[in-house]
Amino acid sequence: MALERLSTALSEAFKKLTKTDKINESHLDNLLKEVKVALLEADVHTMAIDVFLNRIKDEALGQKIFGSLKPNEALMKIVYDQLVDLLGSTEEAFAYPASQHVTMMLVGLQGSGKTTSAAKLAHFFKSKGRKPYLIAADLMRPAAIDQLEILGTSLNVKVYTDRSSKNALQVVKDGIKASRNENVDTIIIDTAGRLHIDETLMNELVQIKSYVNPTEVLLTVDALSGQDAMNVAASFNQSLNISGLIVTKFDGDSKGGAVLSAKTVAQVNVKLVGTGEKTDEYDLFYPDRMASRLIGGGDLLSLVEQAQTKLDTVSLERSANRIMEGQFDFNDLLDQITQMSKMGSLKSMLSMLPGMGQMAQQVNDADSKASMIKSKAIILSMTLEEREDASLLRASRKNRIAKGSGVSVQDVNRLISQYEKTKEQMRMVSRMAKNAKGFR
Ligand SMILES: Nc1nc2c(ncn2[C@@H]2O[C@H](COP(=O)(O)OP(=O)(O)O)[C@@H](O)[C@H]2O)c(=O)[nH]1
Ligand SMILES: [Mg+2]
């Protein structure tokens, strides 16, 4: 995921405070300094950074009673709450009543991902039982029409095209008229972009918007474009009053700061992130889940949701609940390993588990398969008692386990220390989660 470095920097900054019983202002200043560097590196807009850091400072200094939390946990909760706020609204995106007919318009610079995102939206709405209909109103490049038609066809979604027209507004009018003869309820309009914002483009878009009166005007911005994305967003917002952002190319090497800047700088919320070129590579954007991931708290809800199609969700939820209760033994670890091996990429899975974000970055999916098999063998060689109580694992037992699972004693030690570390992090996260409103 983009923002991995930010997530690492945040958890490292907090880790330094774990041994501190009382947090004073200089601890706080140091933490904020480190967070600031991390945010700058992630290409978060300076205006958003200032607002964010000031709020954390105000909250932390103003809060005298930390409840049952340790000070560093209380601080983590403050950072979490402010991150959620920085990331936008927690209102669910695109949650229209089934009976509502919706129209949306995609706008953005050339190459920012409009056409791809139009197809992703069609995919999304189809998966929600809606009946999407695409209109190809980018007449700048003939290839753009073909591109949308190919994507739409692959999704079995009707695409309205008029290759003879030079007038985008007319194409939209005709397209909407034609849609009335189809059994559709979600119209998605792909529009033309330019390399830079220009007046002709804006006028065309403003005309289309005022004719259509769309439910949503969605701006696509490329996560790779860094702080520039926010200037683009602010200026589109001024002319078109956009209803949400789609941050594309959130996969790959993008720094991803756009998602942390949008609300403060451009006054728009991110609604969707694109995570690949394919029509099913996107995620709805949930500020609370993203914040939780960023502070190393994982993203259990997404994990549970993603797993629903593939896994025994009952056991997964039970395991998530146990983790949230601060219980975590080798059986849980074994359970996680088994589930993960069913789900494909360990890296992406790990990044959703509390406290595992940093581990996720060190993971290489090919190596991890081998080590997963090894870890599983080690746990299976433990007795049931040992799996529930790691303190039983003294030297002679470790030798027996190593022999039984065909690995070295170092391997066993490695797994145990990995387990201890994870358990400690989870304990911290769960304590915090119990106190954080809306955390889970
Ligand atoms: N990796 C990645 N590539 C994307 C994503 N969204 C779009 N692209 C690619 O970016 C390029 C431009 O996208 P396109 O939809 O044609 O942009 P448009 O000019 O705004 O319509 C294409 O090569 C897409 O495959 C994304 O979320 N991740
Ligand atoms: Mg396009």
Q: Are 362 and 351 in contact (CB under 8 A)?
A: no
Q: Output the ligand 1 site: residues, CB below 6 A.
A: 108, 110-116, 193, 220, 248-249, 251-252, 274-277
DSSP-assigned states of every residue in 8-26: HHHHHHHHTTTT-SS--HH
Token couple for 161 = 């095209």
User: For residue 252, which atom of ligand 1 is closest to its CA?
Assistant: 1
Below-70 pLDDT ranges, the chain:
1-2, 63-71, 252, 297-319, 326, 340-368, 425, 428-440
Give me ligand 1 centre to Cα 278, in Å: 9
Q: Cβ neighbours of residue 197 under 8 Å, at least 6 residues apart?
A: 109, 232, 235, 236
Measured in degrees and rounded to the nearest 5, phi and psi for residue 158 equal -70, 135
Sign of CA dihedral 212, 217, 222, 226: positive
Give me ligand 1 centre to Cα 365, in Å: 25
Give me ligand 1 centre to Cα 182, in Å: 28
- Structure-token match 């959620």, residue found: 84
Q: Whose CA is nearest to atom 6 of ligand 1?
A: 113
Degrees to nearest 5, angle at CA 297 with 295 and 300: 140
Q: Are 138 and 115 in contact (CB under 8 A)?
A: yes
Closest CA to 189 of 217, 165, 170: 217
Give me ligand 2 centre to Cα 60, in Å: 46
Q: Which residues pair with 246 in a beta bridge?
A: 220, 272
Map out the domains of the chain with their CATH numbers.
1-295 (3.40.50.300), 297-435 (1.10.260.30)
pLDDT value for 433: 59
What is the bridge-based pairing of β-strands 186-191 and 158-160? unpaired
| 14-26 burial: b if 16+ Cβ within 10 Å, else e | beebeeeeebeee
What ligand is nearest to the CA atom of residue 113?
1
Does an H or E element contain 399, and which? helix 395-405
State the pTM of this model.
Answer: 0.71
Q: Count of CB atoms within 10 A of residue 85's CB?
A: 17
